[in-house]
Amino acid sequence: MRLKDCHNFQDFRTLAKKRLPSPIFNYIDGGADDETTYRRNTAAFETCDLVPSVLTGVKDVDLSVTVMGQKLALPIYCSPTALQRLFHHDGERAVAGAAEKYGTMFGVSSLGTVSMEEIAKQTTTPQVYQFYFHKDRELNRAMMQRAKDSGVQVMMLTVDSITGGNRERDLRTGFAIPFKLNLKGMLQFVLKPMWGINYVTHEKFRLPQLKEHIDMGSGATSIGDYFTNMLDPSMNWDDVAEMVKFWDGEFCLKGIMSREDARKAVEIGCTGVIISNHGGRQLDGSRSSFDQLAEIVDEVGDEIDVIFDSGVQRGTHVLKALSLGAKAVGIGRMYLYPLAAAGQPGVERALGLMKAELERDMKLMGKTSIDQLTRENLRFRF
Ligand SMILES: Cc1cc2nc3c(=O)[nH]c(=O)nc-3n(C[C@H](O)[C@H](O)[C@H](O)COP(=O)(O)O)c2cc1C
């Protein structure tokens, strides 16, 4: 199987599985506990059907949206994800390059493997910085200042990771950063020698956003320790209100799932909320993002941008979320498998296929611009 044989999400997943040592594949592919929320995320799109209109004249379709003050050529953007250079040696450079080619936004993770400064210099399209809240308030301010100085347009605070999700696939393989593989896990690396050759012949693996806080060399501090020791589980609305004030720009909360929390986000001055359950990687048993979207749009959709992620695999999933009132849709695994499968050409192919799918689906729906999508286009089955 090669890149040209990949026509959809599942094809890219299959190719990524072939290329990656299984502990790394399972890190991307897995969810928390029994993975019920993870499965439900995508299944939830099937609870409603699209109702198309015909004979509306759909020669030219405009897929652009404006979200968090940023004009995007597509209604999807690449949500921030950790450790991308483990999946392919070009990591964030490849994903940001592909996102730029398709005129959309790219999110740099706090656990990213290329610096936010480098990505900001490399691309002209809008950039998000995904932030975790540290016990050390000075450090929080210093990191936000760093993001400001590098020209990041949107600050995204992840609020659903107050503690790590229970990813049992990682426990079985021993996946951790720095690596602490068990024997079975190590064997999986031996079985994928090309990945190993690429890993050792390219620039050393780093976490530039956190280089002073995680010791990659001796392994004295791991990502697990960073979460336990440096992040602040007592973070509350007052803390975030201060951050919003300090940032003084586009600020969104990623991982909002209740309408009450969305309301509080408005009250403290956020300009957006992302309805997300972290792709089913945090609280298993949590409702799917799609099931929660409508009530949150109804609560705050006229006041701030309601954005959506988790479970998206198809253009029709995107259209359903936009029809319910989301302003834009984040994708995670949908670009990570292509990255692992083939680097930047892989991500470009995935975004290109998604763009073509969205254009085709819009035409079949009888729509020429995203603002024509409304709840009138949907019927729920129960
Ligand atoms: C491998 C992986 C790493 C992730 N790392 C982060 C991260 O560092 N910070 C964050 O806020 N979200 C992270 N996420 C969550 C994504 O930003 C996004 O919310 C999620 O992937 C959406 O679900 P989907 O993969 O079904 O599209 C990660 C997701 C995956 C799959």
pLDDT at residue 220 greater than cutoff 60: no
Three-state secondary-structure class, residue 96: helix
In terms of CATH architecture, what is 3-373? Alpha-Beta Barrel (3.20)
pLDDT at residue 167 greater than cutoff 90: yes
Asked whether the CA dihedral 324, 330, 335, 336 is positive or negative, the reply is: negative
Three-state secondary-structure class, residue 197: helix
Distance CA(53)–CA(245), nearest Å, equals 45
Strands 378-380 and 48-50, how do they pair? antiparallel
pLDDT, tens only, 149-165 = 999 999 999 999 988 89
Whether 278 sits among the annotated catalytic residues: the reply is yes
CB-neighbour burial class of residue 356 (10 A; exposed 0-12, middle 13-18, buried 19+): exposed
Give the model's pLDDT for residue 218. Answer: 60
CA 66 vs CA 200, 292, 295: distances in Å: 41, 22, 22
CA 145 vs CA 141, 142, 285, 340: distances in Å: 6, 5, 37, 32
Query: Annotated binding residue at 281?
Result: yes
Q: Which residue in 377, 379, 348, 347 sits closest to 365, CA to CA? A: 377
| pLDDT confidence bin for 382, thresholds 50/70/90 | confident
Kindly state the tokens that stand for 360. Answer: 């085709």
Strands 106-108 and 378-380, how do they pair? unpaired
Counting from 1 in the atom list of ligand 1, the atom nearest the Cα of 255 is 19
Contact 306, 296 (CB under 8 A): yes
Distance of CA 162 from the midpoint of ligand 1 (Å): 15
Query: Annotated binding residue at 278?
Result: yes
Beta bridge partner(s), residue 256: 275
Q: Considering only CA atoms, which residue is closest to atom 14 of ligand 1?
A: 81
Distance CA(82)–CA(130), nearest Å, equals 10
pLDDT at residue 312 greater than cutoff 90: yes
Q: Which residue in 203, 204, 205, 208 sits closest to 120, CA to CA? A: 208
Q: Work out the average pLDDT over 53-72.
A: 98
Q: For the chain, where are the alpha helices, taking DSSP H only?
A: 9-19, 22-29, 36-43, 84-87, 91-101, 116-122, 137-150, 168-173, 183-190, 193-201, 223-225, 237-247, 259-267, 289-300, 315-324, 333-365
Give the model's pLDDT for residue 215. Answer: 67
- Residue among 79, 132, 161, 347 to mutate when testing ligand 1 (max atoms within 8 A of CB): 79
Give the model's pLDDT for residue 199. Answer: 84
Mean pLDDT rounded to a whole number for the chain: 94
Distance CA(137)–CA(363), nearest Å, equals 50
Query: Annotated binding residue at 130?
Result: yes
Give the model's pLDDT for residue 261. Answer: 98
Kindly state the tokens that stand for 74. Answer: 């597509």
Q: Work out the average pLDDT over 204-225.
A: 74
Distance CA(247)–CA(129), nearest Å, equals 12
Give the model's pLDDT for residue 58. Answer: 97
Distance of CA 274 from the midpoint of ligand 1 (Å): 12
pLDDT at residue 300 greater than cutoff 70: yes
Distance CA(134)–CA(136), nearest Å, equals 5
pLDDT, tens only, 5-15 = 999 999 999 99
Distance of CA 145 from the midpoint of ligand 1 (Å): 24
Domain regions of the chain by residue span: 3-373
DSSP string, 199-214: HHHSS----GGGTTTS
Q: Give residues (CB < 6 A) around ligand 1.
A: 27-28, 41, 79-82, 109, 111, 130, 158, 254, 276, 278-279, 281, 309-312, 330-334, 336
pLDDT at residue 96 greater than cutoff 90: yes
Residue entry with tokens 């390059």: 97
Give the model's pLDDT for residue 223. Answer: 76
65: enclosing H helix or E strand: strand 65-67
157: enclosing H helix or E strand: strand 154-158
pTM of the model: 0.96
Kindly state the tokens that stand for 49. Answer: 């059907």
